[in-house]
Chain A
Amino acid sequence: MNTPDNDKAPLFKSWNGWYIFVILFLVLLIALFYFFTKRFA
């Protein structure tokens, strides 16, 4: 079943919103891991 490419980004206005979200999520994870490391070190 080949369907034409629908490329509308869900939740965000454009895909750039998704890209920024993924990168910010990574930054948040790194920050959390940093505090986790410090907390138990």
Chain B
Amino acid sequence: MSQLDWIVLIVTLLAIVSYGLYKSRTSRNLDGYFLSNRSLPWGMVLLSIMGTQASAITFLSAPGQAYTDGMRFVQYYFGIPLAMVVICIFFVPIFRRLKVYTAYEYLENRFDGKTRTLTSLLFFLQRGLSTGISVFAPSIILSSLLGWNIYWTNLFMGGLLIIYTMTGGAKAVAYTQQLQLIIIFTGMFLTGYMVVHMLPKNVSFIDAMQVSGKLGRLNAITTGFTEKGFNWSDQYNLFSGIIGGFFLALSYFGTDQSQVGRYLTARSLRESRLGLLMNGIVKVPMQFLILLIGALVFTFYQFNNAPIFFNEVQVKKIEQSAYRDSFVLVNNQYNAIAVQKQQAVINYSAATDADSKEAAAISLAQLQTLQKQSDSLRKTVKTWLDKKIKGGDGNDTNYIFLRFVVDHLPVGLVGLLIAIIFLASWGSIAAAINSLASCSMIDLHRRFTKKKDSNEDEYRLSKWYTLGWGIFCIIVAMFTYNIGNSLIEAVNILGSLFYGVILGVFLVAFFFKQVRNSNAVFWGAIAAELVVLLVFILTKINPPVFKMGFLWLNPIGAFGVILFTLLFNKLLIKKTAMR
């Protein structure tokens, strides 16, 4: 990185920390610290919800996903608008009427303490570990690309935000998220402009889109249906996005305290609803545009040489392995194909400009054949890394966008993009730490301590809980480096394993008023969790009993809780009647 990039990076990060500290004055009680005195307008709530959901990986992974698999990843977000409507109708009015601090607090009112404890413990487990991974995931990418020390990167990624999160609580989190998102959108817009600007002069934006589309990268809508019927293992299609995505979004926005804590900061029910509904409107187009940048990066690399594998650390591993000679051969072949591809793209653009359909069809067929050959060579390298080389990782999706930034964007913009990675991480990590601290204080500390603390004591303790969770997440990030990618995968799966069940408990609470027996829902949740785990194991054993995308675990968990609870409720009523 150049000196100017460093200046841009440091100034941006210091500006955010200073702004967070400047905005951290709040009343010294739990309402002020965790809910910003329930005083924020809907615009702030919207940006806070978006800033919490969008982590660094959102901005790194989505363009990489479009590069490798096309834009169909956008369908993953189709469930969000529907979930926002359901949350506005059923969840928010109840949370606000009861004036709860955490979502799980409501479950004690509705059922009992053990159901509240079970769900909050599942939240601690899932959110605590995944926030640690949120610190680690962007850090490892930055440290690999820029040669930074991973431990120091983890420390800066997870440490600086603790200063303002601990000092100012939810208010500082919301205000910094607002500024962070403004910087993030500015940087992404500039990047999109630069990608188009860097295309060859004789290639228009529409030409670039044509090339990307013809090579399968603008596939925003896919149905998941093949000649053999519906493909259940297909992760992203219209149906898994709307149904699976709806349940995932409903559990994430409706029952995960890191989100519930954001819209409870609104000054009225109206402001909470508007913030959520606006999120339902802007989220899908926003993801579409981020993915479009990835598709354009793909087009850019049709005119410029792309690396065969985007993670250089992994490439070095191959170069030091028994596959080094084979790698040189494959890489040379890949580069030769790239040259042919560039010529084919130019021929195709010229033919479409001249309206010569036959010439365009010939160039396109050649281009598609070359793309297949090129993809096959990339796959060979990925297989070596996944299966043959110790400590290898054949997934470079998260590295594609940043590698493009570092290699091709002008000085200054590189620093801004690196700063954006930090800011996107800070937005989601700060909200997560704030929510973990609020659950620790409200769902555990207040319930299990006999002494009644003063407002000042609770405020002070909440700050210590925030610091404690911040340190915990950094420690998880440090350990992740030693354990490796298996932990990242495990934690990613962890969310889908628990989210559906937590949602199911809330759905029973809201919609099944006849369920009064708290044991029915508690054991219903345990039974449904076992079913989810069983289904998951059956899809993972070798050979798998059946294949299924992870998004489907969410509806299975939610419906599992409802069915088991109704069954247990009936049995318990019968048992009571017999007595």
Identify the A interface with B (CB < 8 A). Answer: 1-10, 15, 18-19, 22-23, 25-26, 29-30, 33-34, 36-37, 39-41
Q: How large is the interface on B (under 10, 10 to 19, 20 to 34, 35 or more residues)?
A: 35 or more
Residues of chain A contacted by B273 (CB below 8 angstroms): 7, 9, 15, 18
Q: Contact at B210–A37, with CB atoms within 8 Å?
A: no
Known contacts A5-B96, A6-B270; A29/B284 CB under 8 A:
yes
**Known pairs A22-B81, A22-B84, A36-B220; A30 contacts B269 (CB<8 A):** no
Instruction: Indicate whether A40 sits within 8 Å of B209 (C-beta atoms), given known contacts A1-B267, A5-B270, A10-B274.
Output: yes
Distance between Cα atoms of A7 and B89 in the complex (Å): 12
Is A40's CB under 8 angstroms from B213's CB? Answer: yes
Return A35 CB to nearest CB of chain B, in Å: 9
How long is the Cα–Cα vector from A19 to B414 in the complex, in angstroms? 41
Q: Which residue of B lies closest to A35 (CB)?
A: B221
Tell yes or no: B158 within 8 A of A by CB: no
Evaluate contact between A41 and B39: CB separation under 8 angstroms.
no
Selected contact of B89 from candidates A2, A4, A19, A26, CB within 8 Å? A19
B267: A residues at CB distance < 8 A? 1, 3
Contacts of B209 in A (CB 8 A): 40
B288 neighbours in A (Cβ, 8 Å) = 29, 33
In this assembly, does B238 line the interface, its C-beta being within 8 Å of a C-beta of chain A?
yes
Residues 277-329 of B at the A interface (beta carbon under 8 Å):
277, 280-281, 284-285, 288
- State A23–B242 Cα separation when bound (angstroms): 12
Report Cα–Cα, A1/B284, bound state, in Å: 33
Indicate if B248 sits at the interface (CB-CB under 8 A). no
Residues of chain A with a CB closer than 8 A to B78's CB? 26, 30
Whole-angstrom distance between the Cβ of A41 and the nearest chain B Cβ: 6
Inter-chain contacts of A5 with B (CB < 8 A): 96, 268-270
Min CB gap A5→B, angstroms: 4
With A7-B268, A8-B270, A23-B81 as known contacts, state yes or no: A1 contacts B218, CB within 8 Å.
no
Interface contact A26-B218, CB-CB below 8 Å: no
Closest CB in chain A relative to B318 CB, distance in Å: 35
Q: A22-B85, A22-B280, A25-B81 are in contact. Are A3 and B213 (CB under 8 A)?
A: no
**Can you list 20 A-B contacts (CB < 8 A)?**
A1-B37, A1-B38, A2-B31, A2-B37, A3-B38, A3-B267, A3-B268, A7-B268, A8-B270, A9-B273, A22-B85, A22-B280, A26-B280, A30-B221, A33-B74, A34-B220, A37-B213, A37-B220, A40-B212, A41-B213
B residues apposed to A, CB below 8 Å: 31, 37-39, 74, 78, 81-82, 84-85, 88-89, 96, 209-210, 212-214, 218-222, 238, 267-270, 273-274, 277, 280-281, 284-285, 288
Cα–Cα distance between A4 and B281 once the two chains are bound (Å): 27
Residues of A within 8 A of B274 (CB): 10
**Chain B positions within 8 Å of A1 at CB level:** 37-39, 267
Find out whether the CB atom of A33 lies under 8 angstroms from the CB atom of B280.
Answer: no
Decide if the interface of chain A is mainly helix, strand, loop or mixed: helix
With A2-B38, A5-B96, A36-B220 known as contacts, the answer to whether A23 contacts B268 (CB < 8 A) is no
Q: Which 10 pairs show the lowest CB-CB distances between chains A and B?
A: A40-B213, A33-B220, A26-B81, A5-B269, A40-B218, A19-B85, A1-B39, A34-B221, A7-B269, A37-B221
Let me know if A23 and B85 touch, CB within 8 A.
yes
Considering the chains assembled together, what is the distance between the CA atoms of A3 and B96 in angstroms?
A: 12
Residues of A within 8 A of B219 (CB): 37, 41
Contact status B238-A30, CB under 8 Å: yes
**Bound-state Cα–Cα, A29 to B221, Å:** 11
> Taking the nearest CB of chain A, how far is it from the CB of B528, in angstroms?
29
Min CB distance, B247 to chain A, in Å? 16
Give the complex CA separation of A14 and B398 in angstroms.
Answer: 43
- By a CB distance below 8 angstroms, the chain B residues around A3 are 38-39, 267-268
Apart from A5-B270, A37-B220, what 17 extra A-B contacts exist at CB < 8 Å? A2-B37, A3-B267, A3-B268, A6-B269, A9-B270, A15-B88, A19-B88, A19-B277, A23-B81, A29-B285, A30-B78, A30-B221, A30-B238, A33-B288, A37-B213, A40-B214, A41-B213
Q: Are B218 and A36 in contact (CB under 8 A)?
A: yes
Closest-CB distance, A12 to chain B (whole angstroms): 11
Q: Are B210 and A40 in contact (CB under 8 A)?
A: yes
Tell me, rounded to whole Å, the shortest Cβ–Cβ distance linking A16 to chain B: 9
| In the complex, chain A residues whose CB is within 8 Å of the CB of B277 | 18-19, 22
**Chain A residues whose CB sits within 8 angstroms of the CB of B220 once the complex forms:** 33-34, 36-37
- Distance of B375 from chain A, by nearest CB (Å): 18
A7 to B81, CA, bound (A): 20
Q: What separation, in Å, do the CA atoms of A5 and B84 have in the docked complex?
A: 19
- B270 / chain A contacts, CB cutoff of 8 Å: 5-10
B284 cross-chain contacts in A, Cβ below 8 A: 26, 29
Of chain A, the residue at the smallest CB distance from B93 is A7
Cβ of B39: which chain A residues have Cβ within 8 Å of it? 1-3
B residues less than 8 Å from A8 (CB atoms):
270
The residues of B that contact A6 with a CB separation of less than 8 Å are: 268-270
Q: Is the CB of B218 within 8 A of A37?
A: yes
Query: B residues within 8 A CB of A26?
Result: 78, 81-82, 280, 284
Q: Which residue of A lies closest to B74 (CB)?
A: A33
